[in-house]
Amino acid sequence: MTSFVIFKTLEQLYGIDIECVKRILPSPFLTGMPDEDEHIEGMFIYEGEIIKVVSFRKLIGIKSYEEQLHQLFSQLRAEHQEWLEALQETLEEGNAFTQAMTSHSCSLGKWIDSFHPDDEALLDAMKQLSFHHQQLHQSALHLLEEKQINPQAAKKRLQSEITALHEKVFNSFESVVKMSNKVAVTLQRCLVLLGENKHSFGINIDEVVDILHSDEKQIHSSQEEEHMGDFISVAGVLEHKGKLITIIKDVTINKRSA
């Protein structure tokens, strides 16, 4: 029986023998190493040892976590702009308002509620964003109530109050976006692995999902290449609860020779 650390990147699951994993840590802030190969993201010191860190995403050739965050941020920004435009149409044309009513039910609000950073500067930026976002939704609710009594007054408040609050939300949001590297660090985890010559190295991953105990006989050969890129060897595929898990046999931060 072997135990595997199961982790997720995008929607794909991967597993690695727990015996290869020295520690599972919050993703650390890294010191750059400009003289290293481009796939080395940086280093940190752990228990007196210099740990070089690579991104698992980079090893398998997909977009970085930070790039995915920027895509998410663009989507959240666009969806909240649609929210404002829908509110304007309701007040000016009388259309029914079908967007999220409370600050906790829109996409941006759900993301705010789900993200709890430890970094002080990022935490302050998130508090500002949350405050202005709640103010905006509360004012919009009052505005929709006022529309039933005095539509003209509601229209005026839309221009003077709601638009200004929405701008504050976006300014606060941009402050968070500018710290996307800190957001990425906060959300990821780092697997510290034992490498060649007993030198440890780290791999930043999206999320640790589970610790799975399984018989190695249940690992089936995969249609994938034996090597998943230049740095990863694949043992095969394990099926668990209807999902396929790619089992990693070996990881190195040095390119394999051809």
pLDDT of 159 reads: 78
Same domain membership, residue 150 and residue 73: yes
Task: Look at residue 196 and tell me whether its pLDDT is greater than 80.
Answer: no
Task: Look at residue 41 and tell me whether its pLDDT is greater than 70.
Answer: yes
Same domain membership, residue 74 and residue 52: no
pLDDT of 222 reads: 65
Q: What is the mean pLDDT of residues 59-63?
A: 86
Task: Look at residue 195 and tell me whether its pLDDT is greater than 60.
Answer: yes
**Residue 258: inside a domain:** no
Q: Which of 183, 215, 242 is the last residue of a domain?
A: 183
Q: Which residues pair with 41 in a beta bridge?
A: none
**Residue 57: inside a domain:** yes
Say how many CA atoms lie within 13 Å of 49 toward its Cβ. 14
Domain total for the chain?
2
Model confidence pLDDT, tens digit, residues 212-241: 998 878 888 765 556 677 788 888 899 888
Domain with 71, as residue range(s), is 67-183
Q: Which of 183, 203, 225 is the last residue of a domain?
A: 183
Same domain membership, residue 133 and residue 112: yes
Same domain membership, residue 6 and residue 39: yes
Same domain membership, residue 143 and residue 196: no
Same domain membership, residue 56 and residue 94: no
Task: Look at residue 93 and tell me whether its pLDDT is greater than 90.
Answer: no
pLDDT of 11 reads: 84
Same domain membership, residue 45 and residue 8: yes
**Residue 168: inside a domain:** yes
**Residue 151: inside a domain:** yes
Model confidence pLDDT, tens digit, residues 136-161: 999 999 888 888 888 888 888 877 88
Share of the chain above pLDDT 90, in %: 53
pLDDT category of residue 115 using cuts at 50, 70 and 90: very high
**Residue 84: inside a domain:** yes
139 vs 1, more confident: 139
Q: What is the mean pLDDT of residues 83-96?
A: 89
Same domain membership, residue 138 and residue 227: no
Task: Look at residue 258 and tell me whether its pLDDT is greater than 50.
Answer: no
Task: Look at residue 118 and tell me whether its pLDDT is greater than 80.
Answer: yes
**Residue 45: inside a domain:** yes
CATH of the domain at 225: 2.40.50.180
Same domain membership, residue 83 and residue 142: yes
CATH of the domain at 114: 1.20.120.30
Same domain membership, residue 23 and residue 74: no
pLDDT of 83 reads: 95
Same domain membership, residue 113 and residue 56: no
Q: Which of 143, 168, 183 is the last residue of a domain?
A: 183
Average pLDDT of every residue of the chain: 89
pLDDT of 257 reads: 52
**Residue 256: inside a domain:** no
Q: What is the mean pLDDT of residues 88-116?
A: 92
pLDDT of 148 reads: 86
Query: pTM of the full predicted structure?
Result: 0.80
Same domain membership, residue 99 and residue 28: no
**Residue 165: inside a domain:** yes
